[in-house]
Amino acid sequence: MKCLLIYFTGTYNTRYVSRKLKSRLEEVGWQVNLYEIDPLNNGRLNLSEYDIIGLGYPIHGYCAPWAFLRFIRAQKFPEGMKTFIYKNSGETERANDASSKYVLRKLRWDGAVMNNEYHFLMPYNIHFRFDDNLVKEMLVMNDRLLDILVYELCHGISNRKPYGIWPRIVSSVVSRPQYIGGDVNSFFYRVDDKCTGCNLCVKNCPTKNIRRDADGKLRFGHHCLMCMRCSFYCPADAIHIGFLEQWGWKVNGGYDFRKIEAIELDHPVITPDTKGFFHCYIDTYEKINKRHKELFGD
């Protein structure tokens, strides 16, 4: 099978998942190409040379990010083309289920087929930082979900559940303001005195929204995707992210996945007694384990 994985990533969690997926599909003999969306280039890809296309994105406010949706809408999916979705986010809220609603509408419009959709859990790049031990457990569970994904795709087994009315409503209500929210919020982005002038944020911003003016100061334009790449990776933690920061939602410093992968966990982090924010993981993990057992016996 010749497969193309098209994905958008802000702080590289989706890139991480996409690379894992690529190597797992290659292990079963597929030929896999990766295409990371550049929000400044919405040109059409030649999709007809592939047998199947995977679409990956981080969930932003219960929706697919605008940059992802815009790119997908600019494509022409060949009639009957097989596609699948692999999205990721920090929580399992049912409201996230319908985040692909508009993507699905576009695929249907073109006559493409989407029978498989998978939700990977990856640590937040906004709101609060996840503990490394928990992230390790998430990566282990994602490996199990990848087992399921690869098996089901290879055996033509569909895996889709209806989105439900409530997730659809939430996703629709949040998507409209969110898609202009980044542009509005970037009026309030600023850099403080801790800035060392390394220019990493200028180089890495996917929309070239950050510039250094003649007076040496960094300024933000109004083409912000709220992807968090600039503030997340600023080595001096000097970037302030507008109203999101008023709510204490900034996370600074990338997750070191290589180091996290090497952690040896001697006890489960999520247990049936887990309470609070991560309580919702219990059900998700039970479902992954149940399906894994059905397919592989463990």
Ligand X SMILES: Cc1cc2nc3c(=O)[nH]c(=O)nc-3n(C[C@H](O)[C@H](O)[C@H](O)COP(=O)(O)O)c2cc1C
Smallest distance from ligand X to CB 112, Å: 23
Q: What three-state secondary structure class fits 250?
A: strand
Question: Is residue 169 part of the contact set for ligand SF4 (CB under 6 A)?
Answer: no
Q: Which residues contact 149 (CB under 8 A, 6 or more apart)?
A: 21, 24, 84, 86, 116, 118, 159
CB of 232 to ligand X, least distance (A): 8
Interface with ligand SF4 includes 205 (CB under 6 A)?
A: yes
Please compute, for residue 42, the number of CA atoms within 13 A of its CA located in the half-sphere on the CB side. 13
Please, where are the H alpha helices in the chain?
A: 13-27, 66-74, 101-110, 132-154, 165-185, 200-204, 229-233, 243-246, 257-261, 280-296
Contact 19, 69 (CB under 8 A): no
Q: For residues 69 and 38, what is the distance between their CA atoms, to the nearest angstrom?
A: 12
Q: Is 253 left (phi over 0), alpha (psi -120 to 50) or beta?
A: left
Nearer Cβ to ligand SF4 (235/253): 235
The one of ligand SF4, ligand X, none whose footprint includes residue 195, by CB under 5 to 8 A per kind, is ligand SF4
> Does residue 67 interact with ligand X by CB under 6 A?
no
11 contributes a contact to ligand X by CB under 6 A: yes
**89 contributes a contact to ligand X by CB under 6 A:** yes
Q: Does residue 184 bind ligand SF4 (CB under 6 A)?
A: no
Q: Considering the rule CB under 6 A, would residue 75 count as an interface residue with ligand X?
A: no
Nearest to residue 146, comparing CAs of 52, 22, 290?
22
Least distance between ligand SF4 and beta carbon 230 (Å): 3
DSSP class per residue in 102-117 = HHHHHHHHHT-EEEEE
Residue 15: Cβ within 10 Å count: 17
Stretch that binds ligand SF4, among 81-89, 172-180, 225-233, 253-261 (CB under 6 A): 225-233
Taking CB under 6 A as the binding criterion, the range among 133-141, 142-150, 194-202, 286-294 that sits at the site for ligand SF4 is 194-202
- Is residue 125 near ligand X by the rule CB under 6 A? yes
Does residue number 239 form part of the binding site for ligand SF4 (CB under 6 A)? yes
Among 224, 244, 251, 260, contact with ligand SF4 (rule: CB under 6 A): 224
Output phi, psi for 205, to 5 deg: -60, 125
Q: Is 60 in the site for ligand X (CB under 6 A)?
A: yes
Return the residue of 23, 46, 158, 196 that touches ligand SF4, per CB under 6 A: 196
Is position 226 an interface residue for ligand SF4 (rule: CB under 6 A)?
Answer: yes
The burial of 24, by beta-carbon neighbours within 10 Å (0-12 exposed, 13-18 middle, 19 or more buried), is given as middle
Instruction: Pick the closer one to ligand SF4 by CB: 21 or 227.
Output: 227
- Interface residues with ligand X (CB under 6 A) are 9-14, 58-62, 88-91, 96, 122, 124-126, 226-228
- Interface residues with ligand SF4 (CB under 6 A) are 186, 191, 195-201, 205-207, 209-210, 218, 220, 224-230, 234-236, 238-239
